[in-house]
Structure 1
């Protein structure tokens, strides 16, 4: 693993020694989680300092130009002399040179002793880049922790970012939890020229909805693309694969067997709780592909032990509980000698595998009815004449219409926990007065309507590539693998696979309510029938179930929430109602909010002053 941090100093008073000293501190912080930090500095009127010691980092410095590229990218299809070749291309094409890079990467390029700076990350947001403009110049780093080690870094928390965390269970880019610090979004670059900073996109997904390629040809293209993506993702590393028993992880396990020519090493997590254990399907896939399969049943005690580690390793609050099983998978793999795991993330989004896609397609049919039928007949009947009748069919019809008349993408947030409770019921009044409650849905609207004119499924895919993947699932898996001590790659998110998905027709992704229509047809002779028919589950954590039964986990949660009350972010009476009433009513649903609040306090306790101080 590798990382980078840097400081472009435009303050003429900064001398070479002080800049290098500051970078050394940033690098030590980065090295807490990244084995091989890269530190870069450029001073106005001075020299350039660079230190690199990671195989996955390519660095070039000559004639006043410094470039560092890290990750596993190709430049115009070639991996040789990446930084040197990118430097030459950058001087000709500027920020658009980034479009010649493919694969997971982050890049930094400097010229004129820091007067020009370019930062960029890959198209899927596998890598991260944080930055902050200060009077003295620009700070940047592949982790927020590296920036925080710099004396000019902003350390005040952003209330809006915390509100966004409670809404999304993560802090979506471009915001970070620190006021004034930002993070690049997928396919985005930052340019800093002579004191002026701007961001832009070097790539956006372009759908070809009218393409009409025969199925046999599409299938051949898909299988070839999948094989090359897995082969390149595995590389020369000792590679294994997550195996949940779903279509994506099972497909990757089988393809890993094909490209390696040996039994793939696969890793699964189970839970001894009814309705949560998917180990049966993982075993079906493992037998089908002859895998060297490894299993672990995670307990409530394992979860309690992992919580502080995950919070301490997180750059900012992160509330996806699936990080725990992913972490224990990574631990198993490292113990087994594996250095890289393949994750199936991206398959649902690219090929139409999320249940909400089908649900929204059903709701969208209401909009296609004649307006007279809707507004003159159906709605007056159901909400007027028959509004007082409490019959199951009428309740179901009213619920359908209430959801269907909501505009997208707000309709996707019907079950959002913060909205369902009501921000005023959850948040302390003083905290609520400092935030914009409409900001999260505003972000979603901006992203969703970038694809105006596209089909519903492709607009939802665009939304999910940003919020479900880059800001959540990829971050979860990378965090878990970093803690577990292994690298991770995502074959479904290769640039070639992104382009292939964009060429599929909307019906190839969602045919009526049939999810993954093309994907399942293309793999019907490859995957076991039981896996093709199963519903999506993954590594869901039975946290709410354990919370009611395990004293150790209860103690950790109650201590965390007791401290959180003192911060005047969450209303104390809401925490009491959540723990003593709501969780008992529906452990799985309300347990999610308990986890989100607990992880907020766990992060705050390690990153800011203790509550009440």
Structure 2
């Protein structure tokens, strides 16, 4: 794990000083052995654990700055931190908008008692912080900050989203920047705002042929940039359109890595092999077993700075581990392609629901709905059940409609969670977050609103964290070519119908790359590294014991109702292992995280109503 951390110590408090900074910085090098650099001049200090090419440090009397990642300023990476300081003095926090690439930034001015923190546009890198009357602590990983009291709302958010979305952290006093955000701290006052936001232009202004040329040029440049600076480059290869595209664009015989599952309906290795043969890659495969998963669960829980419930982190970890054993130091991931170019299947599904809204209201409200919902009998007919389900979902407003199949909602929070714990949280907060993000920009098409939502919640808070965690644990650097600034800008200007044409996903993307990708890859459905945990839960004794023992231990924490855990393990998973196995995984990883991070077996103290209403952090 590489990264940076630091402090501004207004009260000369020992917890904020140089000695704890050394320990916190060293903790960020525990997996990859990155070189450590520390600069201090009271009342401030910065620690960095990173290869020399991935960090820029600058210090002058009373001030210090660091940029971690692969970034440039006005097209150059030379003396990056020093030039950023000059920009900051001239433009304030908006100087961050002149940075390109993937980065985390800190500028600490001890003479004025001020700090600037910022992260890149996609949230590839993160920044966590906490403040009190003593000053400010910050780090790219919360593991490099002092632990504290668990935040019940964050635990609820985890059970809802299967991760903890920014700006909250797992501890009450910790917060996280969202993509394209900065934090300005001035002697105890915090201002959090954005220096960049995705600006969509929905009208077509460029002919398709010219648009294709622009896209291919930007894509090739992004892959070259992501692969630059090392000869030890590889790529994840699931056999999907994104990973196959990247493997084919690497300007050398690419080394590709795939994970398979010896379970019907889950193994996508055939498509990975098609792509590998088509592009002539040096291809490597590994078939994951239930025993591998049981071995990895405690390691992943220990390495994760906060609870994380995306089970695909396990195959991603074994893929990265395979690459590292092969000498690879950087792995390209195709994350972001779905979100930028319309590849998520729910985009097509929601387009079908949106069509119902276009019917005349008289037909919907006076004829169809009374007919469907007024019929007392006949609901065993499959066609009628499907019609009613379609209308029920279509009547839900966005983005609530996206949460129709949310597990916690389907079970019912009151049936899942301890009553005292549930009384301490705001059940409506997760949907409120989604609603605020979805409606942040006015006048946009549904596909672009969903894209904005997914860039934050599906990508920045989930998929990027998954790949970063897997690569961190394996000691490999991840890179994400689809998330270059150029491709973000291109996507923002791509007409909605080129992302989703009717119900055809990735319309422009597939047309632009049909001469590059094998036909079988273009036609396949999205799968990725989805893991057959539910199947293994029923067939592998060791994995089942680990999971069920974890859930039994979770009962004592007064977060989840013991009777729900009993019903889940004794009945539900045996009725539909793939579906209910997801909740087993989410609860197991919560308990494993609590155990690995030495949290005693009790629930977090209830938050008072004022704290819930106030939210996690001050904003501008």
Normalising by structure 1, we get a TM-score of: 0.95
Equivalence for 1:224: 217
Give yes or no for the alignment of 1:116 onto 2:131: no
Distance 1:41 1:366, change over 3 A: farther
- The offset of 1:524, in angstroms, is 0.8
Asked whether the 8 Å contact 1:173–1:471 carries over to 2, the reply is yes
Task: Give yes or no for contact 2:415–2:564 (8 Å, CA) kept in 1.
Answer: yes
Contact 1:42/1:113, CA 8 A, preserved across alignment: no
Task: Tell me if the contact between 2:343 and 2:505 (Cα under 8 Å) persists in the aligned partners.
Answer: yes
CA distance in 1, matches of 2:36, 2:166: 23
The whole-number CA distance in structure 2 between the counterparts of 1:127 and 1:320 is 18
1:236 corresponds in structure 2 to 229
Paired residue for 2:51, among 27, 48, 54? Answer: 54
Deviation at 1:30, TM superposition (A): 2.7
Does structure 1 conserve the Cα–Cα contact (< 8 Å) formed by 2:41 and 2:62? Answer: no
Matching of residues 210-289 of structure 1 within 5 Å = 210-237=203-230, 238-256=232-250, 259=251, 262-289=252-279
CA contact (8 A) 1:43 1:113 kept: no
Confirm or deny that 1:490 pairs with 2:480.
Answer: yes
Q: In the alignment, what sits opposite 1:528?
A: 518
Structure 1: distance between partners of 2:452 and 2:580: 29
1:127-176 CA distances to partner (integer Å, 9 max, x unpaired)? 0100011110011011111112xxxxx60000000000000000000001
Secondary structure, in 3 states, of the residue corresponding to 2:116?
A: strand
Contact persistence 1:4–1:38 (CA under 8 A): no
Bigger relative contact order, structure 1 or 2, given CA contacts below 8 A and separation 6+? Answer: 2
CA RMSD between the two structures: 1.6
CA distance in 2, matches of 1:51, 1:271: 39
Q: 2:453 aligns with which of 447, 454, 463?
A: 463
* 2:595 match: secondary structure: helix
Distance in 2, matches of 1:52 and 1:325, equals 26
Counterpart of 1:151 in structure 2 is none
- What is the deviation of 1:61? 0.8
- Once residues 194 and 39 of structure 2 are traced to their aligned partners in structure 1, the CA distance between those partners, rounded to angstroms, is 24
**1:332 paired to 2:322:** yes
Structure 1 residue 586: deviation in Å?
Answer: 1.1
Secondary structure in 2 matching 1:200: strand
Match of 1:3 in 2: 3
Which residue of structure 1 lines up, in the alignment, with residue 185 of structure 2? 192
Q: Which moves more between the two structures, 61-70 or 536-545?
A: 61-70
Q: Using the alignment, how far apart are the partners of 1:90 and 1:423 within structure 2? A: 46
1:480 aligns with 2:470: yes
What count of residue pairs does the alignment treat as equivalent? 600
Q: 1:421 aligns with which of 384, 393, 411?
A: 411
Maintained 8 Å contact 1:42/1:114: no
Tell me how far 1:449 sits from its aligned partner.
Answer: 0.3
1:204 aligns with 2:197: yes
- Aligned partner of 1:129 in structure 2 is 127
SS in 1 for 2:166: coil
Listed as ranges, the gaps of 5+ residues in structure 1 are 149-153
Matches within 5 A, 1:293-332: 293-332=283-322
Q: Distance in 1 between matches of 2:388 and 2:151?
A: 40
* 1:332–1:229 Cα change, 3 Å: same
Does structure 1 retain, via aligned residues, the 8 Å contact 2:128–2:140? yes
Task: Measure the CA separation in 2 of the matches of 1:406 and 1:111.
Answer: 50
1:480 Cα offset (Å): 0.2
Alignment deviations for residues 264-307 of structure 1 (CA, whole Å, 9 cap, x no partner): 00000000000000000000000000000000000000000110
Of the structure 1 ranges 432-441 and 33-42, higher mean CA displacement relative to structure 2 is found in 33-42
Q: What is the SS of the residue equivalent to 1:372?
A: helix
Assess if the C-alpha contact under 8 Å between 1:8 and 1:114 holds in 2.
no
How far 1:54 sits from its partner (Å)?
Answer: 3.0
Deviation of 1:40 (Å): 5.5
1:370-389 correspondence runs (5 A):
370-385=360-375, 389=379
Q: Deviations over 1:36-62 (max 9, x none)?
A: 455555534xx7566666311100112
Measure how far apart 1:210 and its partner are: 1.0
CA contact (8 A) 1:9 1:42 kept: no
- Among residues 91, 100, 117, which one is paired with 1:93 in the alignment? 91
3-state secondary structure, aligned to 1:341: strand
Equivalent position of 2:401 in the other structure: 411
SS of aligned partner of 1:407 = coil
Q: Which residue of 2 aligns with 1:20?
A: 18
Asked if 1 retains the 8 angstrom alpha-carbon contact of 2:163 and 2:307, the reply is yes
Instruction: Say whether the 8 Å CA contact 2:8–2:16 is kept in structure 1.
Output: no
Q: 2:163 aligns with which of 162, 165, 170?
A: 170
Gap change, CA 1:401 and 1:69, over 3 Å in 2: same
**CA gap 1:528/1:19 in 2 versus in 1, 3 angstroms:** same
- The Cα shift of 1:591 comes to 0.6
Q: Deviations over 1:330-359 (max 9, x none)?
A: 111111111100000000010000110000
Alpha-carbon distance between aligned partners in 2 of 1:478 and 1:53, rounded to the nearest angstrom: 15
Indicate yes or no: 2:601 matched with 1:611. yes
Instruction: Supply the distance in 2 between the matched residues of 1:360 and 1:106 (Cα, whole angstroms).
Output: 35
